[in-house]
Amino acid sequence: MKLVDFVGNTPLIPIEKLNPQNESVKIFAKAEFFNPSGSVKDRAAKAMVLDGLKSGKLTKDKILIDATSGNTGIAYSFLGALYGFRVCLVIPANVSGLRKNLMKSYGAQIIESDPLEGSDGAYFMVRDIVSKNPEKYFYPDQYNNPANWKAHYETTAEEIWKQTDGKITHFVTGGGTTGTFTGTSRRLRELKSDIHTILMQPDGPFHGIEGNKHLETTERPGIFDDSLVEKIVPVATETAYDIVHRLAREEGILAGISSGANVAAALEIAKTAPAGSLIVTILCDAGYRYLDEGVWGNFL
């Protein structure tokens, strides 16, 4: 087996001490930091890379290039080292040094985009670079590549279904590319038509919930299917930070900012969910990736 074969089959962890209705409503979080490069993005990156290799669009003489705010770039970098192709990543300049170093440690090249333009700025810069020299690059385009959502349709959703014995009633997660939400929700609805699929979203355009879009004010991912959104739960950055702290100190889970936001949304849903509900959300990555950022502030 190769290291890539260990992508997926991540555990479901119960959220108990933070759960306001722990006796009647269950909350579980899928711990995606157990993936080889440490995040949920291993799933989509693996699918897009294998699709590129199979189609012949990705060869060892081409450079994989894409826009990222961190986790997909780390996953691409890991896969580039494993399969022997070069990786170039365009990221906003204000992405933490720790995440940049994780990409560089696998041998990736980094190009920084205007931090004020966020992930959209990185996306448009990549498109410009590729347009000037298309033969040089393999551009998977994670925001518009159907292999992204299909990875979650084929793996994440099926794993959740089996791990909950089909008892899941609510699926809650945020969206950057929206691949996790779209693919997982689509398959879960096929398996259980009355399941509640809920999108966590930052509460405004200027936020600190890394890897998530405020969809009304940013470039809309081509793979996003808004027909799957039953409800949107807005989460403030400060709330996400608070849940990150509480997950560490009360549940023993060192999770990242988007994970804190996802759990915050799940906790909000749990407040009014009927008895017997089983809510599943996503722990996108581990908290160590953010120890050099403001999320921890004076908390340490």
Catalytic residue list? 41, 258
Place of tokens 């990156």: 45
Q: In what order do the strands lie in the sheet with 63-67?
A: 109-113, 86-92, 63-67, 137-138
**What b/e sequence results for 277-293 when a residue is b if at least 16 CB atoms lie within 10 Å of its CB, and e otherwise?**
bbbbbbbbbbbebbeeb
In which order are the strands placed within the sheet that holds 170-174? 12-14, 26-31, 278-283, 170-174, 196-202, 231-235
Give me the half-sphere count of Cα atoms (radius 13 Å) on the Cβ side of residue 192.
Answer: 20
At position 151, the amino acid (one-letter code) is: A
The two structure tokens encoding residue 125? 């810069």
As a whole number of angstroms, the distance between CA 257 and CA 239 comes to 10
Continuous segment of H or E residues that includes residue 282: strand 278-283
